[in-house]
Amino acid sequence: MKRNFLIAIRFTLATTVMLGLLYPLGITGLAQLLFHDRANGQLIEKNGKLIGSRIIGQSFTGPGYFHSRPSNAGTGYDATASSGSNLAPTNKVLIDRVKGDVQKAQAEAPSAPIPVDLVTSSGSGLDPDISPASAEFQIPRVARERHMNPDELRSLVRQHTLGRQWGFLGEPRVNVLELNLDLDSSHPLR
Protein backbone atom coordinates (compact mmCIF):
# COMPACT_ATOMS: atom_id res chain seq x y z
CA MET A 1 0.00 0.00 0.00
CA LYS A 2 2.78 2.42 0.96
CA ARG A 3 4.59 1.61 -2.31
CA ASN A 4 1.47 2.39 -4.39
CA PHE A 5 0.97 5.66 -2.52
CA LEU A 6 4.58 6.75 -3.24
CA ILE A 7 4.19 5.82 -6.94
CA ALA A 8 0.99 7.88 -7.12
CA ILE A 9 2.71 10.89 -5.54
CA ARG A 10 5.72 10.63 -7.88
CA PHE A 11 3.45 10.25 -10.90
CA THR A 12 1.39 13.28 -9.81
CA LEU A 13 4.53 15.40 -9.36
CA ALA A 14 6.04 14.23 -12.66
CA THR A 15 2.88 14.91 -14.69
CA THR A 16 2.38 18.25 -12.92
CA VAL A 17 5.88 19.35 -13.90
CA MET A 18 5.58 17.99 -17.46
CA LEU A 19 2.02 19.11 -18.24
CA GLY A 20 1.77 22.10 -15.91
CA LEU A 21 5.18 23.68 -16.52
CA LEU A 22 7.27 22.21 -19.32
CA TYR A 23 4.50 21.80 -21.92
CA PRO A 24 3.01 25.32 -21.45
CA LEU A 25 6.47 26.91 -21.46
CA GLY A 26 7.43 24.97 -24.60
CA ILE A 27 4.23 25.92 -26.45
CA THR A 28 4.56 29.56 -25.36
CA GLY A 29 8.18 29.61 -26.54
CA LEU A 30 7.26 28.09 -29.92
CA ALA A 31 4.39 30.56 -30.33
CA GLN A 32 6.71 33.49 -29.59
CA LEU A 33 9.30 32.13 -32.01
CA LEU A 34 7.02 31.13 -34.89
CA PHE A 35 3.97 33.41 -34.49
CA HIS A 36 5.24 36.39 -32.48
CA ASP A 37 2.59 38.89 -33.64
CA ARG A 38 -0.33 36.53 -33.09
CA ALA A 39 0.97 35.24 -29.76
CA ASN A 40 1.00 38.80 -28.43
CA GLY A 41 -2.54 39.77 -29.45
CA GLN A 42 -1.84 41.30 -32.88
CA LEU A 43 -1.28 44.73 -31.36
CA ILE A 44 -1.13 47.88 -33.49
CA GLU A 45 1.30 50.61 -32.50
CA LYS A 46 1.66 54.06 -34.04
CA ASN A 47 4.56 56.35 -33.16
CA GLY A 48 5.45 54.07 -30.24
CA LYS A 49 1.95 54.30 -28.77
CA LEU A 50 -0.37 51.32 -28.47
CA ILE A 51 -3.50 51.99 -30.55
CA GLY A 52 -5.36 48.69 -30.26
CA SER A 53 -5.53 45.12 -31.46
CA ARG A 54 -6.46 43.78 -34.89
CA ILE A 55 -8.61 41.12 -33.24
CA ILE A 56 -10.58 43.18 -30.68
CA GLY A 57 -13.08 45.76 -31.86
CA GLN A 58 -13.18 49.36 -30.73
CA SER A 59 -16.00 51.84 -30.55
CA PHE A 60 -15.92 54.60 -33.14
CA THR A 61 -18.70 57.16 -32.83
CA GLY A 62 -17.54 60.22 -34.73
CA PRO A 63 -19.22 60.89 -38.08
CA GLY A 64 -15.85 60.89 -39.87
CA TYR A 65 -15.14 57.29 -38.92
CA PHE A 66 -16.49 53.92 -39.93
CA HIS A 67 -18.50 52.55 -37.04
CA SER A 68 -18.11 49.08 -35.62
CA ARG A 69 -20.85 46.62 -34.72
CA PRO A 70 -22.68 47.28 -31.47
CA SER A 71 -21.01 45.61 -28.48
CA ASN A 72 -22.49 44.04 -25.37
CA ALA A 73 -19.11 43.36 -23.77
CA GLY A 74 -19.16 45.36 -20.54
CA THR A 75 -19.48 49.03 -21.40
CA GLY A 76 -18.56 48.22 -25.00
CA TYR A 77 -15.58 46.32 -26.39
CA ASP A 78 -14.34 45.47 -22.89
CA ALA A 79 -12.17 42.37 -23.38
CA THR A 80 -12.55 41.45 -19.70
CA ALA A 81 -16.33 41.22 -20.11
CA SER A 82 -16.59 39.41 -23.43
CA SER A 83 -20.09 38.13 -24.13
CA GLY A 84 -23.19 38.65 -26.15
CA SER A 85 -26.28 40.18 -24.60
CA ASN A 86 -27.86 36.75 -23.99
CA LEU A 87 -31.21 38.44 -24.56
CA ALA A 88 -33.90 36.49 -26.36
CA PRO A 89 -35.12 37.84 -29.73
CA THR A 90 -38.40 38.76 -28.01
CA ASN A 91 -36.73 40.67 -25.13
CA LYS A 92 -37.97 44.27 -24.97
CA VAL A 93 -34.51 45.65 -24.07
CA LEU A 94 -32.96 44.05 -27.17
CA ILE A 95 -35.85 45.09 -29.40
CA ASP A 96 -35.65 48.71 -28.18
CA ARG A 97 -31.85 48.85 -28.67
CA VAL A 98 -32.07 47.45 -32.19
CA LYS A 99 -34.97 49.79 -33.07
CA GLY A 100 -32.90 52.75 -31.87
CA ASP A 101 -29.92 51.65 -33.97
CA VAL A 102 -32.17 51.14 -36.99
CA GLN A 103 -33.65 54.64 -36.57
CA LYS A 104 -30.14 56.17 -36.42
CA ALA A 105 -29.12 54.26 -39.54
CA GLN A 106 -32.32 55.25 -41.38
CA ALA A 107 -31.65 58.90 -40.53
CA GLU A 108 -28.19 58.52 -42.08
CA ALA A 109 -29.42 56.86 -45.29
CA PRO A 110 -33.24 56.80 -45.48
CA SER A 111 -33.58 54.80 -48.68
CA ALA A 112 -30.70 52.33 -48.26
CA PRO A 113 -31.20 48.85 -46.83
CA ILE A 114 -29.52 48.57 -43.42
CA PRO A 115 -26.94 45.78 -43.11
CA VAL A 116 -27.85 43.55 -40.18
CA ASP A 117 -24.38 43.68 -38.61
CA LEU A 118 -24.70 47.45 -38.06
CA VAL A 119 -27.59 46.90 -35.64
CA THR A 120 -26.76 43.51 -34.06
CA SER A 121 -23.85 42.59 -31.84
CA SER A 122 -21.63 39.56 -32.24
CA GLY A 123 -21.58 36.62 -29.84
CA SER A 124 -18.40 37.83 -28.14
CA GLY A 125 -19.19 41.54 -28.30
CA LEU A 126 -15.59 42.08 -29.47
CA ASP A 127 -15.88 41.63 -33.24
CA PRO A 128 -13.32 43.91 -34.95
CA ASP A 129 -14.86 43.53 -38.40
CA ILE A 130 -17.90 44.67 -40.32
CA SER A 131 -19.27 43.32 -43.57
CA PRO A 132 -18.41 45.05 -46.85
CA ALA A 133 -22.13 45.99 -47.05
CA SER A 134 -21.84 47.82 -43.70
CA ALA A 135 -18.77 49.68 -44.92
CA GLU A 136 -20.58 50.59 -48.16
CA PHE A 137 -23.56 51.87 -46.15
CA GLN A 138 -21.27 54.25 -44.22
CA ILE A 139 -19.26 55.57 -47.20
CA PRO A 140 -21.51 58.62 -47.94
CA ARG A 141 -21.27 59.88 -44.32
CA VAL A 142 -17.52 59.31 -43.99
CA ALA A 143 -16.78 60.79 -47.43
CA ARG A 144 -18.85 63.89 -46.61
CA GLU A 145 -17.13 64.40 -43.24
CA ARG A 146 -13.63 63.89 -44.66
CA HIS A 147 -14.31 65.86 -47.86
CA MET A 148 -13.44 62.83 -49.98
CA ASN A 149 -14.70 61.48 -53.24
CA PRO A 150 -16.92 58.45 -52.39
CA ASP A 151 -15.26 56.40 -55.16
CA GLU A 152 -11.84 57.06 -53.62
CA LEU A 153 -13.19 55.91 -50.27
CA ARG A 154 -14.71 52.78 -51.89
CA SER A 155 -11.28 51.95 -53.24
CA LEU A 156 -9.79 52.26 -49.75
CA VAL A 157 -12.52 50.00 -48.34
CA ARG A 158 -11.77 47.42 -51.04
CA GLN A 159 -8.08 47.50 -50.05
CA HIS A 160 -9.12 46.65 -46.47
CA THR A 161 -11.63 43.97 -47.43
CA LEU A 162 -10.49 40.46 -46.60
CA GLY A 163 -12.08 37.51 -48.36
CA ARG A 164 -13.13 34.20 -46.91
CA GLN A 165 -10.36 32.44 -45.01
CA TRP A 166 -8.80 29.77 -47.26
CA GLY A 167 -11.43 30.69 -49.84
CA PHE A 168 -14.37 28.99 -48.10
CA LEU A 169 -14.50 29.78 -44.37
CA GLY A 170 -16.46 32.74 -43.02
CA GLU A 171 -17.60 35.80 -44.90
CA PRO A 172 -15.74 38.76 -46.46
CA ARG A 173 -14.97 41.37 -43.83
CA VAL A 174 -13.44 44.79 -43.22
CA ASN A 175 -11.33 45.50 -40.14
CA VAL A 176 -12.71 48.79 -38.79
CA LEU A 177 -9.65 49.83 -36.75
CA GLU A 178 -7.21 49.31 -39.62
CA LEU A 179 -9.50 51.12 -42.07
CA ASN A 180 -9.97 54.10 -39.73
CA LEU A 181 -6.22 54.31 -39.02
CA ASP A 182 -5.52 54.31 -42.75
CA LEU A 183 -8.15 57.04 -43.20
CA ASP A 184 -6.52 59.15 -40.48
CA SER A 185 -3.15 58.78 -42.21
CA SER A 186 -4.27 59.44 -45.76
CA HIS A 187 -7.22 61.85 -45.22
CA PRO A 188 -7.11 63.38 -41.72
CA LEU A 189 -10.24 65.05 -40.39
CA ARG A 190 -10.19 68.80 -40.84
Is pLDDT of 74 > 90? no
- If asked whether residues 30 and 47 sit together in one domain, one would say no
- If asked whether residues 55 and 22 sit together in one domain, one would say no
How far apart CA 104 and CA 137 sit, in angstroms, is 13
- If asked whether residues 34 and 83 sit together in one domain, one would say no
pLDDT digits (tens, 9 = 90+) for 157-182: 999 999 998 989 989 999 999 999 99
Is pLDDT of 189 > 90? no
- If asked whether residues 35 and 120 sit together in one domain, one would say no
Q: What is the mean pLDDT of residues 139-162?
A: 94
Long-range contacts, 167-173 (Cβ 8 Å, 24+): 171/131, 172/131, 172/132, 173/129, 173/130, 173/131, 173/132
- If asked whether residues 119 and 142 sit together in one domain, one would say yes
- If asked whether residues 105 and 139 sit together in one domain, one would say yes
How far apart CA 120 and CA 86 sit, in angstroms, is 12
- If asked whether residues 32 and 49 sit together in one domain, one would say no
- If asked whether residues 16 and 60 sit together in one domain, one would say no
- If asked whether residues 71 and 124 sit together in one domain, one would say yes
pLDDT digits (tens, 9 = 90+) for 106-116: 888 888 899 99
- If asked whether residues 13 and 107 sit together in one domain, one would say no
Domain count, the chain: 2
CB distance 102 to 94 below 8 Å: no
Per-residue pLDDT at 24: 95
- Domain that includes residue 1, residue range: 1-40
Per-residue pLDDT at 28: 93
pTM for this one?
Answer: 0.78
